[in-house]
Structure 1
Amino acid sequence: MASFRVVGGHALNGEITPQGAKNESLQILSAVLLTKEVVTIHKIPNIRDVNKLIELLQEMGVKVQKLGEESYSFQADDVDIHFLETEKYRQMASSLRGSIMILGPMLARYKKGKIPQPGGDKIGRRRLDTHFDGFQKLGAKFKYEKKTGYYNIDASHLKGTYMLLDEASVTGTANIVMAASLAKGKTTIYNAACEPYLQQLCKMINRMGGKISGVGSNLLVIEGVEQLGGTEHTMLPDMIEIGSFIGLAAMTQSDLTIKNAGIEHLGIIPDIFRRLGIKMDFKGDDIHIPAQEHYEIETFIDGSIMTIADAIWPGFTPDLLSIALVTATQAKGTVLIHQKMFESRLFFVDKLIDMGAQIILCDPHRATVIGLNKSQPLRGIQMTSPDIRAGVSLLIAAMSAEGESLIHNVEQIDRGYQNIDDRLNAIGAMIERV
């Protein structure tokens, strides 16, 4: 198990470029299974979860060629369906939550699929009902083997239909879209997720010869086609990493420029950080965050305490609530952080309290943060990263703290952030991988 030894109190200065989007990558890489032709993908982040999915595709028989530092070509013209029956597949798929994304294209093209209970962050219940309800409405037959933990699906007769999703699940919508893209007839999905990453997937499938309309809305219409062809695709910049860098700059009083940030795809993210008092300027597609000695949390118009809550797109992504929370600990003012979607994601605040932050954990979903206004720095401690986003939040806290911190289990951070220690050290951080 690797750890970060972090010496806090060092302001950063310079430029940093966000990696390709992790959450988009898991969808786009799975979509290469939809065609036997070559698919070329650029800006693939070099992170554990993405690399695991690429390895899984290779084991399934997909031909993978590395074209450059962040570019690969994929050709799924000789996929071994029997690999799904092996113990190696069970081990690989169960260690990666993103493995659920291969089901949609497998059902579309090979008419069957199976997957063990996927792994991932322990941040509360992350049910898969939306995926399987959608597959069943398309005509697939679903069987869950409780003893083995396997989900088995027979999709011999996929047929387009109308469906109203019980929740606007991003991965659920993506999986259903991929399955419907090769089904017979028209599929209409209402209450579909409409995140930029899902829009990217739909645009990619359309370039492959698919027929998807309503992209960017919560009403998608998919006309099934006989087959899909090859294409070329470039990932968006990772909005979660961009939000993390904004919070990091404020906490460490750094002058930081985030290059090629894909500002038009960030939605409400910059506005939320502005509500925390963080100044930023847009220069073309770059975001400049000037060094600030202090930043003050806004109140609502009637003077009541600011509340920041997660919501489906175009609301504030739940993946950045942990970052907003830690950033608020050194602001002036008070904010209520309301994590609606996952009931275990705020439990890392006990580490921040140990560092000197003033936080009241109201219940599993809500925490009140009373900002210290940098009147006293956080103090370095020893802690363990529970999940990807909490891990980076603790790293931000450690970089702003007085003294040395030791963060264990940083493999969790590596799952979502590419070479984060090297990239931050290049602009003034002091992080040692132990």
Structure 2
Amino acid sequence: MTNAFVINGGKPLKGEITPQGAKNEALQVISAVLLTEEKVTISNIPDIKDVNKLIELLGDMGVITEKTDESTYTFIAKDIDQDFFQSEAFKTKGGGLRGSIMIVGPLLARFGKASIPKPGGDKIGRRRLDTHFLGFEKLGARFDYNPEDGFFNVDASNLQGTYILLDEASVTGTANIVMTAVLAKGTTTIYNAACEPYLQQLCKMLNRMGAKISGIGSNLLTIEGVTKLGGTDHRLLPDMIEIGSFIGLAAMTGSEITIKDVHYKELGMIPDVFKRLGIKLELRGDDIYIPAQDHYEIETFIDGSIMTIADAPWPGFTPDLLSIVLVVAIQAKGSVLIHQKMFESRLFFVDKLLDMGAQIILCDPHRATVIGLDKQVQLRGISMTSPDIRAGVSLLIAALSAQGKSTIYNIEQIERGYQHIDTRLKALGADITRI
């Protein structure tokens, strides 16, 4: 039995919404509790499947986890059950959770060994894990893949700091290598490191625990190994993908919405990209206020050529918001080329938008041209299935702006990334029911 959302769209929304804690940061900093025996407290944790599964997985391996309020947990990773990593339970749970790769670095660093089942997750193209494993190897880990039982076994009893040039600026790859290097002997230099706010948050947290990481916020990190780390308190940033999603939602539905406590300076160019689509937004304190807009017009480049919006490693525009930008452009005035460089099948949800009446040319698996309808024509509601987290929310935004009833199936994909999304949208006046 799968759940679905039924949405009656075409109505403007109004009110305030507070973004959840950042999912991608949560998966990293929660894994980092494995680096110390001491108590670590993490607040602003989102109540979503991927994060809850990781917390449960830590509990299974012997971490004492306690929920002290609705978004705060304490973790004490004093006694870890090493046998658990060879068990069927670990294989099932670890294999079903992409974030489980993040526990490998901390386990290697602290215990000198780890195993990991081959990971699963959503369909947005191949997500290679080479970056992680190449990094571990450079630090002195040896691993073998056992095709019989589907486990990677890693031995890292003698980790040595070294110079690492990453083959790609992978956020999770960088995070994993950083967590491994903090307890390695000597100095590690990571060049072409990812420098997303999530990663900066992880590095700051590790430094408070006693690590010695410099170069935070740049693509060149230097880590002097230490022998042990202590406990700390850490608060997650708000989720920038949610913030971007809500900006897009407001524009497309012609709604007046205030997004609370956004940590504006950590949003990079996200607000600017939405402004290029013609969306008005203003900063009030640390809240983003979006007025109700009947129209928004896509800028052209200075020479009059069509605007292109593409993803790039931070501080470039995050690939996670390209699906949202694509949907919001449907009702803009003007045209835009969306170029999704990082993942090869993230644009395939465009067929559903075409069924709703959007004017989009899918050029190839990486590029789509959106010809804005300027709200002259409303999208029409349809039944559809969500292929991945971000496409799911994009389809949800399209449905809220469409005339008539839409049904979205496979909403488990949406709920892996957005907590209580139906309840929070209802509070803004959306007509959305879970069936």
What's the TM-score, normalizing by structure 1? Answer: 1.00
Could you say what secondary structure the match of 1:178 adopts?
A: helix
CA distance in 1, matches of 2:361, 2:338: 10
Matched residue, 2:314 = 313
Matched residue, 2:267 = 266
Higher mean Cα deviation, 147-156 or 133-142?
147-156
Matched residue, 1:389 = 390
Number of aligned residue pairs: 434
Deviation of the 1:147 alpha carbon: 3.4
Deviation of the 1:148 alpha carbon: 2.9
Deviation of the 1:119 alpha carbon: 1.5
CA distance in 1, matches of 2:88, 2:147: 17
- Aligned AA for 1:142? F
Matched residue, 1:52 = 53
- Aligned AA for 1:304? S
Could you say what secondary structure the match of 1:172 adopts?
A: helix
CA distance in 1, matches of 2:75, 2:13: 38
Deviation of the 1:43 alpha carbon: 0.1
- Aligned AA for 2:342? M
Deviations 1:120-140 (A, max 9, x none): 111001100100000000000
Could you say what secondary structure the match of 1:90 adopts?
A: helix
Deviation of the 1:149 alpha carbon: 2.5
Deviations 1:166-213 (A, max 9, x none): 110000000000000000000000010000000000000000001000
Deviation of the 1:142 alpha carbon: 1.5
- Aligned AA for 1:409? N
| 1:10 has 2:7 as partner | no
Matched residue, 1:416 = 417
| 1:282 has 2:283 as partner | yes
- Aligned AA for 1:87? E
Could you say what secondary structure the match of 2:69 adopts?
A: coil
Matched residue, 1:140 = 141
Deviation of the 1:284 alpha carbon: 1.1
Query: Which ranges in structure 1 are unaligned for 5 or more consecutive residues?
Result: none
Matched residue, 1:194 = 195
Deviation of the 1:274 alpha carbon: 0.4
- Aligned AA for 2:337? L
CA distance in 1, matches of 2:149, 2:270: 41
Runs of 4 or more above 6 Å deviation? none
| 1:110 has 2:111 as partner | yes
CA distance in 1, matches of 2:15, 2:204: 34
Matched residue, 1:178 = 179
CA distance in 1, matches of 2:149, 2:167: 27
CA distance in 1, matches of 2:310, 2:151: 35
CA distance in 2, matches of 1:77, 1:152: 22
- Aligned AA for 2:346? R
- Aligned AA for 2:351? D
CA distance in 1, matches of 2:386, 2:153: 33
Matched residue, 2:92 = 91
Could you say what secondary structure the match of 2:258 adopts?
A: strand
Deviations 1:214-255 (A, max 9, x none): 000000000110100000000000000000000000010000
Matched residue, 1:247 = 248
CA distance in 1, matches of 2:152, 2:395: 35
CA distance in 2, matches of 1:11, 1:433: 20
CA distance in 1, matches of 2:331, 2:276: 14
| 1:236 has 2:267 as partner | no
CA distance in 2, matches of 1:145, 1:373: 55
CA distance in 1, matches of 2:361, 2:150: 38
CA distance in 2, matches of 1:134, 1:148: 24
CA distance in 1, matches of 2:159, 2:352: 49
CA distance in 1, matches of 2:145, 2:349: 33
- Aligned AA for 1:380? G
CA distance in 1, matches of 2:86, 2:117: 11
Percent of residue pairs identical: 72
- Aligned AA for 2:20? Q
**Superposition RMSD on alpha carbons, in Å?**
0.5
CA distance in 1, matches of 2:13, 2:221: 44
Query: Which ranges in structure 2 are unaligned for 5 or more consecutive residues?
Result: none
CA distance in 2, matches of 1:302, 1:401: 34
Matched residue, 1:294 = 295
What's the TM-score, normalizing by structure 2? Answer: 0.99
Deviation of the 1:146 alpha carbon: 2.7
Could you say what secondary structure the match of 1:220 adopts?
A: strand
Matched residue, 2:43 = 42
Matched residue, 2:336 = 335
Deviation of the 1:144 alpha carbon: 1.5
Deviations 1:17-72 (A, max 9, x none): 00000000000000000000000000000001000000000001000011101000
Could you say what secondary structure the match of 1:67 adopts?
A: strand
Could you say what secondary structure the match of 2:10 adopts?
A: coil
